[in-house]
Every structure is written in C-alpha cells, then in structure tokens.
Amino acid sequence: MKSFLKYKNYITYSVILILLIFLKISNPNIIKSISFLSFDLYQKIFPLRKTSSEVIIVDIDEKSLAKLGQFPWNRSVFAKILNNLNDANPKVIGFDIFFSENDKQSPKEFIKAYDIKSKELIADLSKIESHDNYFTKELKNSKSVLAILGNTEKSYSEYQRKPKAKFLFKGGNPNEFVYKYSNSIGSLKQLEDNVSGLGSISFLDQTDGIIRSIPLIVSFDEKIYPTMGLEMIRVGLDQKNLFVTLDEVGIKKISVRPHKISSDNNGLFWIKYKRPQKSQYISASSVFDGNFDRSRFQNKYVLIGASAQGLFDLVKTPLGIIMPGVEVHANVIENILDKSYLLRNPEIYLIELLLTIILATIIFILSQKIKPKYSLPVFVIGFFSILFIGFAFYNFRSELIDISYPIFILVVTFLTGLYFRFIKENQLATENLMKETKLLRERELAGDVQKSLFPDIFKYQNFIYAKNIPARDVSGDYYDLINVGNNEYYFSLADVSGKGVKAGMYMAKASSTFRALSKLSMPLEKVVFLVNNELVESKFKGMFVTAVFGKFNTDTGNVTFVNAGHESIMLFDKSLNFEYLKSELPPIGIIKYFAETMVVSKKINLKNKTFVVYTDGVTEGYLENGNELGSEGVEEIVKNLKDINPINVVEGIASKLNWGAEKLRDDITCLALNLDNTEILKTKK
C-alpha cells in the first residue's frame, strides 16, 4: 500500500496511457474520427495541384436534364453520346451509371406499358430496333467499362456476372483479405456481355460520410473485381491481366502494366484529391449534340457521370467540399497514372505508437520533476515534433501519419502531470486544515447519528443480537430492531454506499423511515416499497442502500425477509450445514417501485436454524495475516464456537476482525437470529 501511494502518480499515468493505447489498437469509430482529422488536415493544407488531367468527365448536369428530359434517358441517348465520343478516339469510356432494367421506350416495353392487343401493330412495333440493341452495338464497338456495386441482399436477377479482368495472384489468395459483398448490382446481361470491363464503384461506409479511400479490388459473390478507375486503366492500356502480390499478412501491390500500385493489407487505396476543375467537365448535352472539341478527348480516359442535384450522386471529401461521385473515380485514375496516391503503411502504425509512448512518458516524468513553467516548453517541443514528422512524411513520401491521436495523448498526459503536480504543491499547505475541519464535522454529527439509530438490543440477545464497529468516526452501516407487539418484530441490517458524513445522513434517513413505517405494523413488502420510494425521492443523488429487511414471530418461528442487493444471507442448522440466500432485488434507493409486487420476499421457519446477516465489511475485512475473512472464514468461526447463539456468533466474528489494526478496511456490522430461546431479559447479563 505504501509503495502504491508513493508511486500512485506514475501508476495512474501508466493506467491512463495503457487505456489510450488500447483504444487506439481496438480503433472504434470515435478513435478513427480523431485520426481522420489529421488525414483530412494534410489535404486541406496541401491539396494535389494539377493544371491538366488525363481524365475528362461527361457530366449529366442540370443543362443536360433541361435539354434531354427526365433521367434516366432512353438508351438511344447514351448510344448517340457514345458514338460521338468514339469518333474522338478516347482511350476508354467508363459509365458511373447503372442500366439494370430494360429501356422503357423499347418496343417490348412500349407494348407492355400500353397493353397493345393488335397483332398487326405488335408486328410493326417489333420490327423497330430496341434502344438496348442500339446501345449494345455502340458498347461493342468501343472500349467501354460499366459500373457494378456491392450489395448484401440477393439480386432479383438470375444473371451470374463474371469479371472481365483476369487476375494473377502471387503469394496467396486475395479473397482472404479483400472487402467482400455477397451479391452485386450492375447492368443488363446484354450490355455487360458487350463491354470491355466491369468496375466496382463501391465506397466503404464512413461514420462521417467522407470518402478518403476505396478498395482497389473487392469481392462480389467470391469473385474479384477491380475498382472503376483501375479497370479503366487496364482497358485503356489494352491489358488483359491484373497482378496481385501478397504475403502472409495481406496484399502488398496491385499491378496493371506498367503501373505498380501499393495498397494496405486489404487492398485499400487512399485518394489524394485535387480541387475540382471546371475545365475537366463537359456537359452531356454538348456531347449529344456533337458540339465539342474532339481533340480534347483523344487518348483520354472518359467518365460519364452525374453532378445534377436531383440525382443524389454527391459525396463529401477530405478537402471539406462536396463533389460528384464520378470525380472521385477521376481522382483515382489520376493518382494511379502519376503515382500521387497516398500510403497508409501498416509498419508506420507501430512507429506511431512507440513514438507516442516515448514522448508522453518523457513529458509526464519531467512534469513531475521540474516546475510547470519549464515543463510547458517540453510539451510544446513534443507537440511540434509530431506535427513536423506528420507533415514531412506527407509532403516527401505521400504517407499518412496519424498526428491527431498522438497529440491527444500528449495533451492528456501533460494535463495529468500538471494535475498531480498541482495536488502535490497544494497538499502540504491544506492537508492539516482539511483534516481538522473534516474530523470536527464528523465528530459533531457522529454521536447524534449513531445514538439515534442503533437500538438497545441487550434484552433480546437470547434470540437476536447485532453489533456495529465503524471504520471511521461515522458509520455507513446500520441495524435496527422494532417490537410491534404479539411477539412480532421487524429488523433490518443495511450498508449505505460511500462513507463519511453524507453516508451517515443517508443512513439516518433510511433508518428513521424504516422505523416509522414498521411501527405501523404494515406488511414487510409494503414497508420496503415505501422505504425505497422515499429514498429515491430524496436528494442524496448517486447513493443507494444494500439491505436485508425482515419480520419474525418468536411464537411461530417464521421469518419473512427481503434481500435488496445485499450480501448473501448465511443460514445454518445445528449440524452446521450452511446455505446462502442470495439477493433477488437491486439495492434500494436506485429505481422507483411502481407496485408492491415488485418487492420479492421469502419466508422460512427458523426452527433449529440460525440466520446471520452481515455487511461486506465482514467478508472483505482483513485478518491479522493480511488475508480477507470471506464467507468461508465466517463458517470457520461458527464451527469453532462451543455454544452457538446470536451473541456468540456476532462477537466471534467481530473479535476476529477487530484485532487491533490502526484502521479497519470498512465498517463491520453483523446480526444473528436464532429462535431456540426467546426469553427477554429484564436486566443486562
């Protein structure tokens, strides 16, 4: 104990540090959000700067909706857009759009919609080529990529899609590490069969909705697919294969010749965003009309997507701005092509933790050794060291270093050190005054509280006896005995949470309420019901009472009792067979009872049996050898008694614990009831 007190500051600091490190390792959402603060800060201060791009976005904007009508448009519109783009000779065209249903303006759908019965009219309409067929031909004649999306629910379609990219694995199976979805959503089989690639547009769920990273490869129905940007690069470079390099802990690199892309162990790709550029966009209506500079699209990666507000394809980014989802895929393509993407190296994670522990420990130790005005500069140096390391790694290595959580740990450590130093500086000056004031108050109240609560139990000691030994001047335990006539008695033994004057006052409240209600000879259940509700409505917030309330009749030997969150009651017979009656209620004073039926009571007959109730100060009390007494120790005391009666049981327990230690660990309170001899004494033995 002395060693603990001597080093309690360092022990407390160690516990706090271990807790903070554990939180970082377990990485719940709240800790992730702290780390993301620094990841976003890097990009806000140093966004990617580009004056030109290899990616052009054909934008389904408000202008296009006004010209071409309500979205989704019929497939002939997309076919014409695709035809005009193909004339400009782009590298590849990617659709950030789904075509999951048949075109509503195709002949078959038209016949269904208007329920046409005329065979001649049906025959004439069937001769018209469907928009889906028209669009399919354009897809087949172009290098195009359609979007697919991960889905946890089973699709209504029977179509079993397959990836267009062929994967070659080295060092393991990526299915063990990638993010997985049981199903996928995509376009019509007719369309997907005639495109060059299928790319995932799945984003990982983030608590704040910000898209910081995407999986480069992902598993849909146990099949590996590349993300949209990676698939467009593969198709644009006329490559058939994607190469995945793994080791025992996960994915290391994903390659499409000549590009080798580093990822985390799960194939996660951290995007480095540039600020949106209007020059990268062109309205879909302009492409539809053919009113655009075709040279602008030559050998470019073309994405078709929506920015119109009503289409709800807008996402939040680390830059603090909202952009269309299609531009996220554009950033991915640019990052891969110019190797500007960010890295979150798993090995750096361990270095972060180690550096944080070292800096935090140095700052805490110095805060305990030197004056606060000198420890502050040490903290500032540590603070700016973390900032420098984080921004240096970001600018020179494009690596993400978490500086938010280490700084948070440093702040907590520094404030903890200052707190302990403040306590230490002020302790000596105030200690004596506080002790004297506290002792004076407690002594003034202790006599009145204790005298008014504990009954004079000596004349009933043949059948019931109780004793309280306070650990301090004021006890938080109490017992009571009330004779209500006709050889019927109410009794209680309780332990108030907390210590000191407040506990004593709360004890007085509980005891006086129980005594007043018992004298009205109410049923025990109603007494407990009213005592509990009275304490709940009192202003002793945060306090409660564990208690055993009982009522017995010396003629019948019947005992009715309620155990409200208290220690198990010991019951033993003359053959010293012990059993324990556990609590079936919470402590009183916590929740309000709305009916007396909420009070659970038990009834037993004490013929040839002894009923013993004690507080946790008994079972947790220290013996001379330093061990706790425990319930086994109480049993041993009873077994060693020559004559078992209430006074011998209680005094035997009390003498075993009150052996002369300077201070008791807790209040010792014990009550024993045995109805073999119910004679009431006239005078004190």
Q: Give per-10-residue mean pLDDT for the chain (685 aa).
A: 67 87 85 87 89 91 89 89 93 93 72 64 63 89 93 72 92 90 90 94 84 92 93 94 92 92 90 91 93 92 90 87 92 94 84 86 83 81 89 90 89 86 74 70 63 82 91 81 90 85 79 89 91 85 90 94 94 93 92 90 93 92 87 92 92 87 83 92 68
283-288-289-294 Cα dihedral, nearest 10 degrees: 80
Helix axes 29-45, 404-453, angle to 10 degrees: 150
| DSSP classification of residue 493 | E
Q: What is d(CA 520, CA 517) in angstroms, rounded to the nearest whole number?
A: 5
Question: Is residue 670 within a helix (H) or strand (E), and if so which, with residue range?
Answer: strand 668-673
- Residue 186 has a CB neighbour count (10 Å cut-off) of 24
Give the ranges where 238-371 is alpha helix by DSSP (H): 284-289, 325-338, 346-369
* Among candidate residues 247, 160, 163, 196, the one with its CA nearest the CA of residue 82: 196
- Residue 342 has a CB neighbour count (10 Å cut-off) of 23
What are the backbone dihedrals phi and psi of residue 159, each rounded to the nearest 5 degrees, phi first? -65, 125
Question: Is residue 638 within a helix (H) or strand (E), and if so which, with residue range?
Answer: helix 630-639
DSSP string, 76-132: HHHHHHHHHHHHT--SEEEE-S---S--TTSHHHHHHHHT---HHHHHHHHTSPPHH
Per the listing, tokens 């005391």 go with 637
178 contact partners, CB below 8 Å, separation of at least 6: 215, 217, 218, 219, 224, 251, 266, 267
196 contact partners, CB below 8 Å, separation of at least 6: 92, 142, 143, 144, 145, 164, 235
Residue 453 one-letter amino acid: L
E-strand stretches of 513-577: 545-553, 558-564, 569-573
Q: What is d(CA 240, CA 103) in angstroms, rounded to the nearest whole number?
A: 31
Q: What is d(CA 15, CA 416) in angstroms, rounded to the nearest whole number?
A: 12
Q: What is d(CA 60, CA 285) in angstroms, rounded to the nearest whole number?
A: 8
Q: What is d(CA 419, CA 426) in angstroms, rounded to the nearest whole number?
A: 11
| DSSP classification of residue 399 | B
252 contact partners, CB below 8 Å, separation of at least 6: 171, 245, 246, 262, 263
Per the listing, tokens 């009192």 go with 538
355 contact partners, CB below 8 Å, separation of at least 6: 386, 389, 406
End-to-end CA distance of the chain: 42
E-strand stretches of 201-329: 213-215, 217-220, 223-226, 241-247, 250-256, 259-262, 268-270, 281-283, 301-306, 314-316, 322-324
Q: What is d(CA 97, CA 141) in angstroms, rounded to the nearest whole number?
A: 19
Instruction: Tell me the residue length of the chain.
Output: 685
Q: Residue 451: its pLDDT value, please?
A: 62
Residue 1 one-letter amino acid: M
Question: Is residue 166 within a helix (H) or strand (E), and if so which, with residue range?
Answer: strand 166-170
The token pair at 152 is: 């946890």
Q: Residue 360: its pLDDT value, please?
A: 87
